[in-house]
Chains A and B, each alone.
Chain A
């Protein structure tokens, strides 16, 4: 059940991140070309959700993992490779990119979103941890 929750929440987060990336890409396109329309084939929104789901599956490798150590670093690398491969494959199948330049844009987007997600996750975890530890100082017994 816990793993299903992780997959579900990750699917939502990744789908949001992909939509954010596409939004930024289209905003840049508008600034450069002045094109106010964004044209998508009918299957693109569904392909984004499906891609987000596939990308969320590797996250279960962190379900029982303590967030430190060499083993953890190896898992992060494997996780990134899985996500990079999944997004690249989906991009190819659903026509998110048609040439090398398009692929490079997608690749840069993956790296930025991946790094941002880790930084945000770490910041949120540390923030909670620090708040609790500060509160514990006031109630802790002296031993």
Chain B
């Protein structure tokens, strides 16, 4: 797609015009990024354990963490869990720099961590804003420190 950038004098004059043949996932994501200042990903509501429900666009700022279980990817918000067709490593590329991998099967949103607690074995326990607790593996603690500039 051809992208044209035209400079304007003030932020009030800023506009984005997208001309597209159809609204694809990428276009929708670009629109979300421009309109809401956050990306969105396509997720499926889980009606029960076996079948998936409605497919929706979920803003990444709503995501607490994502988890891979038996090659299936799940996306967790404050109170709900969604399924995603993307693999965890694909989500890792899609999600913003606010996310970091805290173990082989988990990617967590740093902005949703209330506090961390060190363990003797070098791991850390992260308590999220919704009260859930996740384990940050020893080898990924360095990544968290680097992301936070500690």
Would you call A135 and B78 a contact (CB within 8 A)? no
Which of B6-14, B19-27, B120-128 is the contact stretch?
Answer: B120-128
A143 to B121, CA, bound (A): 31
Residues of B within 8 Å of A121, CB to CB, are: 120
C-beta contact mask, A121-134 vs B, less than 8 Å → 1, else 0? 10001101101110
B115 within 8 A of A: yes
Question: Binding site of B, secondary structure by majority: helix, strand, loop or mixed?
Answer: mixed
Which of B42-50, B68-76, B82-90, B142-150 is the contact stretch?
Answer: B142-150
A67 to B124, CA, bound (A): 11
Pick from B118, B121, B125: contact of A126, CB below 8 A.
B118
Residues of A within 8 Å of B148, CB to CB, are: 132, 135-136, 139
A85 to B60, CA, bound (A): 55
Would you call B111 and A131 a contact (CB within 8 A)? no
Would you call A141 and B116 a contact (CB within 8 A)? no
Pick from A2, A67, A133: contact of B120, CB below 8 A.
A67
Residues of A within 8 Å of B120, CB to CB, are: 62, 65, 67, 121, 125
Would you call B150 and A132 a contact (CB within 8 A)? yes
A99 within 8 A of B: no
Of all chain B residues, the one with the shortest Cβ separation from A133 is B115
Would you call B121 and A139 a contact (CB within 8 A)? no
Q: Smallest CB–CB gap between B114 and chain A, Å?
A: 7
B117 within 8 A of A: yes
Question: Binding site of A, secondary structure by majority: helix, strand, loop or mixed?
Answer: helix
Q: Smallest CB–CB gap between B118 and chain A, Å?
A: 4
Of all chain B residues, the one with the shortest Cβ separation from A143 is B129
Asked whether A133 and B116 contact (CB < 8 A) given A63-B121, A139-B148, the answer is yes
A98 to B116, CA, bound (A): 49
Q: List 28 contacting pairs A-B, 8 Å CB cutoff, sorted by A.
A: A2-B138, A62-B121, A63-B121, A65-B119, A65-B120, A66-B119, A67-B118, A67-B119, A125-B120, A126-B118, A128-B141, A128-B145, A129-B118, A129-B124, A132-B116, A132-B145, A132-B148, A132-B150, A133-B115, A135-B148, A135-B149, A136-B113, A136-B115, A136-B116, A140-B129, A141-B61, A143-B78, A143-B130
Give the 4 A-B CB pairs with smallest separation, nearest first: A135-B148, A125-B118, A143-B129, A141-B111
Chain A interfacial positions (CB closer than 8 Å to B): 2, 6, 62-67, 121, 125-126, 128-129, 131-133, 135-136, 139-141, 143
